[in-house]
DNA sequence: CATGAATGAGCGTTCATTCAT
DNA sequence: AATGAATGAACGCTCATTCAT
């Protein structure tokens, strides 16, 4: 009855996403996650350093896959505009399809002592770089203004998308997030031009 | 040496801003705030319902004043463009000048159970409305696209500004936030046109 | 608009009886009593040493008056039997007519550190003596057994009556306590014979 | 050196009896019980819902065993008189041999919000029923008056015994409680005849 | 690897009491 | 005498983490 290695690790991550989304990070007890995952409390500590590590790992897993997948989609795009459109669309579509993840990413994740968290900022930074690369590409391609401050532009782009998602999560997902892809793109691409 | 009424309330708010900014909301003990404010632990509970109420009240105070002051500046502006510029500038300048408040607003405040928090969302909503009004005005004035989705535009505008501030706070305020006012405005106003 | 001296003292005692009966001694805050009495918190401490002192004083007041009044009734009785009947009847009638007092006497009063409480035991002791005197008188009058252990008899007599009252209070006073006067008397007087 | 399951539960009950008897329920800190039991504070909460639950559980344990044991003794008795004698004797003997339990039962237990306490009244009710059954049996056997109000008789019987124990506890157990078995029986049985 | 009983540090909150006015 | 704002000691309870099995 051997279980595949890593199966429990995955069970715990899954359970954590569900539980954090339902109850919130601080209100979730490690014991709750363990029960949801069908393992003993102690088992959680075989796979994770501590409670915070679960949240961070969970985010890393999601983010790394997200960026990888997004990247492999971007290479198929012709120019920066198409890429920006893809980014926005992929970002919104992904979270629209995974409400629990969206909740955790937008709300619960921000309940950690940011200052310390390497673990969160590193994968996020990779996403930021991706956006910046696209912006730079757009400048090179003559699609966007030459005098654009890439870093600031990236912040506005990411901040804009992020806020749209946050509002959707806080509204209890009562409308179609994906439908906002187009208008958000229009707003941002014009900003860059 | 009688103290003015309300002075303690103010002392506690002040102490809380300082302490939350320094230590983070969850790591701050009510006793820490009390000591910093120079009052007894119990005194805190004369003025606030509980620890969370301190954070919420604090934000309400700041936000209500912020929106009021901003509003009185806006009425002096000629058109939507000028108003948008004022909003961005006022937002960045205000927080650039009050690093502790910025820290609390951008980071600590987001550590609360959003679901519950009427107290936070109401004053924020007023700010959102202000932004939306400006966007609508711009449409009316023919400055911005007619087909603009005001709500989505507002989210991108606010999200963009907010992310710029958050990045500045997380960078430990190592650069001049106010200087970003102009590029952020350019990005957003073009997006709206 | 001068108030008679002692008026507030009385107001507080009254408020305490009501509040203790409604909420229970431990759950009652001194501030509750003060509000009910229409005085400031601090005023309570002008008239009473502390919270416990209110309960004790209250009981002393009641008990001393109870014993005095009972005594003056007893002198009019012919023999021990009549006196015993009077004691039982008076005890039950008094408490039946003052449900709040009954609640406090039977339930709340017993929540105090008995060991220490002089204040409670002294007035109670006087009541015990009264009962013992009647029993002794009954023995002298040949109404009760000569070999009766007066102290033990007193305990059984008082305990019997007391339990009847307690049961009535705990039943939320759903039946006529006074009606039990006769059967209780029958049980106790036969026990003494 | 594995401990038997349930051993800690028992340790805590034991520690609680000792500590409540020595210090009184309200003055006892949960930490005191834990220390006395040789367990951590948190361990107490694995076995008991809260502090009050310790007191209630403790009483239930004692009372249920008391009633069971008493019951098995009663079935060996010939008639109601013998049974009544057994009840009184068993009641006094049991408590005389366990002064800590007596203290807790007679004094500390009465410091709880009666209103709520199902937990206390249920096992007590079983004892009351036992007494009532004996009284009824006595009536059937022609030993006691036919016109006896069983419920009232039970209250007087229980109240009488209870008061005798309370007085003994409050006197710091300076005399032999068991010796009162005979006179109390005489008083009560005559009352029933 | 897995378990889950046990741990004990940690803290928010209450409220009886005081005292300057 | 009266006030009521302020005090601060006191403690029940939680829960992340450990470790013997």
Per-residue pLDDT averaged across B180-192, rounded? 97
Mark yes or no for CB contact A167/B155 under 8 Å.
yes
A171 touches chain B (CB under 8 A): no
> Last residue of a domain, which of D32, D48, D64?
D48
Mark yes or no for CB contact B167/A155 under 8 Å.
yes
Place of tokens 């690093």: B99
Mark yes or no for CB contact A184/B110 under 8 Å.
no
- For residue D170, give the nearest of C107, C114, C164 by CB distance: C114
C179 touches chain D (CB under 8 A): no
User: Are the CB atoms for A37 and A18 separated by under 8 Å?
Assistant: no
Show the 3-state SS of chain C: CCCCCCHHHHHHHHHHHHHHHHHCCCCCCHHHHHHHHCCCHHHHHHHCCCHHHHHHHHHHHHHHHHHHHHHHHHCCCCCHHHHHHHHHHHHHHHHHHCHHHHHHHHCHHHHCCHHHCHHHHHHHHHHHHHHHHHHHHHHHCCCCCCCCCHHHHHHHHHHHHHHHHHHHHHCCCCCCCHHHHHHHHHHHHHHHC
> From the Cβ of D35, is strand F under 7 Å away?
no
DSSP state of B114: G
Q: Are residues C132 and C143 in the same domain?
A: yes
pLDDT tens-digit readout, B94-139: 999 999 999 898 888 887 776 567 788 888 899 999 999 999 999 9
pLDDT exceeds 50 at position A115: yes
Spatial separation of the C-alpha atoms in residues D157 and D151, rounded to whole Å: 10
Find, in chain B, the residue whose alpha carbon is nearest to that of A106. B110
- For residue D163, give the nearest of C111, C115, C159 by CB distance: C159
Mark yes or no for CB contact A170/B27 under 8 Å.
no
Q: Are residues C21 and C63 in the same domain?
A: no
Chain A meets chain C (3+ C-beta pairs below 8 A): no
Instruction: Name C residues 52-111 whose Cβ lies under 7 Å from strand E.
Output: 52
Report how far Cα D164 is from the mean position of its chain's Cα atoms.
13
Spatial separation of the C-alpha atoms in residues A15 and A104, rounded to whole Å: 12
Chain E bases near protein Cβ (<7 Å): 1-21
> Which residue has the least CA–C1' distance to nucleotide F15?
A29
Spatial separation of the C-alpha atoms in residues A11 and A34, rounded to whole Å: 9
Q: Are residues C80 and C148 in the same domain?
A: yes
Q: Are residues B74 and B148 in the same domain?
A: yes
* Three-state DSSP class for residue A185: helix
* Three-state DSSP class for residue B26: coil
Mark yes or no for CB contact C152/D184 under 8 Å.
yes
Q: Are residues C36 and C63 in the same domain?
A: no
Mark yes or no for CB contact C164/D156 under 8 Å.
yes
B75: domain range?
51-192
Mark yes or no for CB contact A158/B153 under 8 Å.
no
C interface test, pick of D113, D163, D167 with most C CB neighbours within 10 Å: D163
- Residues 6+ away with beta carbon under 8 Å from C29: none
Spatial separation of the C-alpha atoms in residues B72 and D54, rounded to whole Å: 62
| CB under 8 A, 24+ apart: contacts of A60-67 | A60/A119, A60/A120, A60/A122, A60/A123, A61/A13, A62/A101, A62/A105, A63/A123, A63/A124, A63/A126, A63/A127, A64/A123, A64/A126, A66/A94, A66/A127, A67/A123, A67/A126, A67/A127, A67/A130
Q: Are residues C187 and C105 in the same domain?
A: yes
Q: Residue D24 maps to which CATH number?
A: 1.10.10.60
> Which residue has the least CA–C1' distance to nucleotide F8?
B40
Q: Are residues A34 and A97 in the same domain?
A: no
Q: Are residues B39 and B128 in the same domain?
A: no
Spatial separation of the C-alpha atoms in residues C130 and C133, rounded to whole Å: 5
Q: Which nucleotide has the shortest C1'-to-CA distance from D37?
A: E6
User: Are the CB atoms for C43 and C14 separated by under 8 Å?
Assistant: no
pLDDT of residue D2: 39
Q: From first to last of its 193 residues, what are the pLDDT tens digits of chain D? A: 334 567 899 999 999 999 999 998 999 999 999 999 999 999 999 999 999 999 999 999 999 999 999 999 999 999 999 999 999 999 999 999 999 999 898 888 887 776 567 788 888 999 999 999 999 999 999 999 999 999 999 999 999 999 999 999 988 889 999 999 999 999 999 999 9
pLDDT of residue C1: 39
C-alpha torsion sign, points D26, D28, D34, D37: negative
Count of structural domains, chain A = 2
Mark yes or no for CB contact C187/D187 under 8 Å.
no
Q: Are residues B180 and B85 in the same domain?
A: yes
pLDDT of residue B109: 84
Q: Residue D172 maps to which CATH number?
A: 1.10.357.10
The pLDDT > 70 percentage for chain A reads 96
Chain F bases near protein Cβ (<7 Å): 1-21
Residues of chain C scoring pLDDT < 70: 1-5, 114-116
> From the Cβ of D4, is strand F under 7 Å away?
no
pLDDT of residue C2: 44
> Last residue of a domain, which of C26, C48, C70?
C48
C152 touches chain D (CB under 8 A): yes
User: Are the CB atoms for A152 and A140 separated by under 8 Å?
Assistant: no
Q: Are residues C140 and C173 in the same domain?
A: yes
Spanning CA of A192 to C1' of F15, the rounded length in angstroms is: 49
Spanning CA of B51 to C1' of F15, the rounded length in angstroms is: 20
Q: Are residues A72 and A20 in the same domain?
A: no
pLDDT tier, A2 (very low <50, low <70, confident <90, very high otherwise)? very low
C-alpha torsion sign, points B7, B8, B14, B15: positive
What DSSP letter does each residue of D110-142 carry, written as one string? GGS-GGG-HHHHHHHHHHHHHHHHHHHHHHHTT
Mark yes or no for CB contact C156/D24 under 8 Å.
no
pLDDT of residue D116: 65
C-alpha torsion sign, points C148, C150, C152, C156: positive
- Residues 6+ away with beta carbon under 8 Å from D110: C107, C110, C111
B152 touches chain A (CB under 8 A): yes
Spanning CA of D27 to C1' of F12, the rounded length in angstroms is: 13
pLDDT of residue C16: 97
Contacts of A158 in chain B (CB under 8 A): 163
Shortest distance, CA D37 to any CA of chain C (angstroms): 24
* Three-state DSSP class for residue D79: coil
With 0-12 CB in 10 A as exposed, 13-18 as middle and 19+ as buried, what is A55? Answer: buried
A26 touches chain B (CB under 8 A): yes
Contacts of B183 in chain A (CB under 8 A): 148-149, 152-153
Contacts of D152 in chain C (CB under 8 A): 164, 180, 183-184, 187
Spatial separation of the C-alpha atoms in residues A79 and A135, rounded to whole Å: 10
- For residue C188, give the nearest of D115, D166, D191 by CB distance: D191
- For residue B191, give the nearest of A24, A149, A188 by CB distance: A188
Q: Are residues B33 and B56 in the same domain?
A: no
Per-residue pLDDT averaged across A100-113, rounded? 85
Summary mean pLDDT of chain C: 93
What DSSP letter does each residue of A40-75 carry, written as one string? -HHHHHHH-SSHHHHHHHHHHHHHHHHHHHHHHHHT
Spatial separation of the C-alpha atoms in residues B158 and B136, rounded to whole Å: 15
How many other CB atoms are found less than 10 A from the CB of residue B50? Answer: 11
pLDDT tens-digit readout, A28-73: 999 999 999 999 999 999 999 999 999 999 999 999 999 999 999 9
Chain C meets chain B (3+ C-beta pairs below 8 A): no
Per-residue pLDDT averaged across B25-30, rounded? 93
- Residues 6+ away with beta carbon under 8 Å from C88: C161, C181, C184, C185, C188
* Three-state DSSP class for residue D24: coil
User: Are the CB atoms for C161 and D159 separated by under 8 Å?
Assistant: yes
Instruction: Name D residues 75-104 whose Cβ lies under 7 Å from strand F.
Output: none
Per-residue pLDDT averaged across A176-192, rounded? 97
């Amino acid at each position: 009855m051997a279980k595949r290695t890593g199966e429990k690790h995955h069970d715990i991550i899954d359970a954590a996403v569900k539980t954090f989304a339902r109850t919130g990070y601080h209100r979730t007890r490690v014991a709750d996650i363990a029960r949801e995952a069908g393992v003993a409390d102690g088992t959680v500590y075989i796979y994770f350093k501590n409670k915070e590590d679960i949240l961070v790992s969970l985010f890393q897993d999601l983010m790394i896959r997200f960026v990888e997948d997004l990247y492999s989609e971007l290479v198929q795009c012709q120019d920066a505009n198409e890429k920006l459109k893809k980014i926005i669309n992929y970002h919104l579509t992904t979270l629209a399809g995974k409400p629990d993840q969206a909740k955790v990413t937008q709300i619960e994740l921000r309940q950690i002592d940011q200052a310390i968290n390497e673990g969160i900022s590193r994968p996020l930074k990779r996403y930021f770089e991706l956006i910046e690369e696209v912006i730079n590409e757009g400048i090179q391609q003559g699609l966007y203004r030459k005098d654009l401050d890439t870093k600031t532009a990236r912040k506005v782009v990411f901040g804009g998308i992020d806020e749209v998602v946050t509002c959707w999560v806080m509204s209890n997902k009562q409308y179609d997030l994906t439908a906002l892809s187009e208008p958000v793109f229009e707003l941002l691409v014009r900003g860059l031009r």
